[in-house]
Amino acid sequence: MEVIIAKNSAEGSSIAARLVANLVRRKPNAVLGLATGATPLLLYQELVRLHREEGLDFGGVTTFNLDEYVGLPPSHSGSYYSYMKKNLLDHINVPPQGINVPDGLTADIPKFCGEYEARIKKAGGIDLQVLGIGADGHIGFNEPTSSLASRTRIKTLTVETLRDNGADFGGVANAPHHVITMGIGTILESRVCLLMAFGEKKAGVVALAVEGPLTSMVPASALQLHPSAKFILDEAAAAGLEKRSYYNYVYEHKPSWQCE
């Protein structure tokens, strides 16, 4: 696991964007796993800038989103499909057939989830998965006690997550309570996992995920099992880490052959 502590979210997002851009340049048919929420917004802005100003070409790229609300049509302003179109996909050149977001309206959720997994496999697996982290430690919408071996499936959101996301729906009462999410087992199969966390609200849970025990009570701690997981944090989100100075030392002394 690599822990990168940036000065602020802008610097952290540009480090993340550089990793994504390097991958897309190296492998034009890369498969990207994408997240929604507040955390990746600056990363997506930077990818749009790289596309517009530096010609970063997403023409061969395939994307898979982590999750979607059950019961929302893609056209709903609160859907993750809408979020992705608005914040990234309408502004870069991923071909429409390369875009995959779970279908919140599917009539047969288990069948759809099996097919989503099969689509990921057929695409060659996810090269790089972008992740945020919930205040309760979730990745995707794998809430605490999710099986560490779980695959794409339906999950019920915790009250805490509903409270965090309720604003997108004008309050918790109107927010969907169920989601389709990639499982922790699905996420762990990505070749690289890039978890970003910014702000003091995330400090406690980041410390648990990075330095606490591996436990389904903190789903992000499962990344301790991943051979190539990177946590990109700002100083506020890193504030609870005991080995902060070691992570900074490692990053500053990274040999050039290790830099991507």
Catalytic residue flag (residue 53): no
Strands (E), 101-167: 128-131, 153-156
Residue 103 designated active-site: no
Which residue from 13, 14, 39, 62 is in contact with ligand F6R, where contact means CB under 6 A?
39
Among 43, 48, 66, 229, binds ligand F6R (CB under 6 A): 66
- Among positions 6, 16, 35, 43, the unique one binding ligand F6R when judged by CB under 6 A: 35
**CA 160 – CA 140 distance, rounded (Å):** 15
Asked if 138 interacts with ligand F6R (CB under 6 A), we say yes
DSSP state of 191: S
Marked catalytic residue, from 46, 51, 67, 117: 67
From CA 162, how far away is CA 151, in angstroms rounded? 22
Number of residues that bind ligand F6R (CB under 6 A): 14
**Does 132 interact with ligand F6R (rule: CB under 6 A)?**
yes
Q: Is the dihedral of CA 16, 198, 2, 87 positive or negative?
A: negative
Catalytic one among 51, 68, 117, 138?
Answer: 138
Q: 138 an active-site residue? A: yes
Is 36 an interacting residue with respect to ligand F6R (CB under 6 A)? yes
Q: Can 143 be counted among the known catalytic residues? A: yes
Residue 150 burial (10 A CB sphere; 0-12, 13-18, 19+): buried
Q: 3-class SS at 69?
A: strand
Which positions are annotated as active-site residues?
67, 136, 138, 143
Binding site for ligand F6R (CB under 6 A): 35-39, 66-67, 132-134, 138-141
